[in-house]
Copies of this chain bind each other. A is one copy, B any other.
């Protein structure tokens, strides 16, 4: 059984567990585990790891439209190197400060591999509920709504390629790119209007399929509208699969692949009433770009008229 099937099975037992975060009595709570082998490429500093791991949980609070209040983390490693631990905590503290939350510690453990488990909590306004439990869920998109995203996409894909280059400059830039700002302020701005929302940890394409399934709708995505992070252009061609005789077309394909399928960008994907888009664009600090339209379920999830495969990075 893979992770997605297991999550689907859990969701049927635990009705509050199928979204980015659970909401209980107005409190949002979400937890994640990240570890060396699958989540932190060689070259990732502990400061970046602390920032990114805690940021991933804060991003889930943002995806519910919640105001993040606090985060905790378990830090587990083969041995306790005090300097590494300090740097991890500094990253955790700084990402919390970036979104107005407080890092309040956690637990230490020994493990065979550097592993961190992070939890963030926040609060939601009851009247932002797109479903009964409070918080903006994945389930309220309606045909005709505008499909929008925050920020710029492909940032983590570009970072991974820079880590692979391995030069000091590339690794430093990769660390910068890995330290994303969780979109808590944007989520708050969107909370009153969004009909459905999630974060993009599994990539844009997979996010659209998940929103489509939860809301019972389809999507018409415009490929060229997807805002691509400038770092993506710097790493085009680093990967395999480039063909010499049609480099431009392949470059465009690769660009879209990195922006829409790789994932881990922790941007928000949301659906909002068409009339609200212009106002919300002004209110989102990370920017809000309309990339398509919600359509009927039988039209499926398409990009420029072609089916968009439900393909992304399956996180270990």
Contact = CB atoms under 8 A, between A and B. Distances in A.
A107 B76 contact: no
B10 A85 contact: yes
A125 interface: no
Interface string A70-95: 10111010011110011001000100
A13 interface: yes
Interface in A205-256: none
A14 B74 contact: no
A8 to B, nearest CB: 11
A119 interface: yes
Interface stretch (A30-38, A290-298, A299-307): A30-38
Interface string A82-120: 100110010001000000001111111111110101010
A62 interface: no
A69 interface: yes
Given A3-B80, A82-B9, A14 B104 contact: yes
Contacts of A25: 69
Contacts of A69: 24-25, 27
B1 A73 contact: no
B119 A29 contact: yes
Nearest to A71: B29
Interface in A1-60: 1-3, 5-7, 9-11, 13-14, 16-18, 22, 24-25, 27, 29-33, 35, 37-38
Contact of A111 (B2, B79, B81, B115): B115
5 contacts: A1-B81, A11-B105, A14-B104, A30-B72, A31-B73
A17 B112 contact: no
Given A89-B10, A89-B13, A108 B35 contact: no
Contact of A104 (B2, B17, B81): B17
A148 interface: no
Given A85-B6, A89-B14, A31 B109 contact: no
Contacts of A111: 33, 35, 113, 115
Given A7-B108, A10-B89, A22 B316 contact: no
A77 B106 CA distance: 22
A72 B22 contact: yes
Nearest to A101: B24
Contact of A102 (B7, B16, B105): B16
B110 A38 contact: yes
A121 B120 CA distance: 11
Contact of A107 (B11, B31, B121): B31
A237 B105 CA distance: 41
Given A27-B121, A112-B112, A105 B74 contact: no
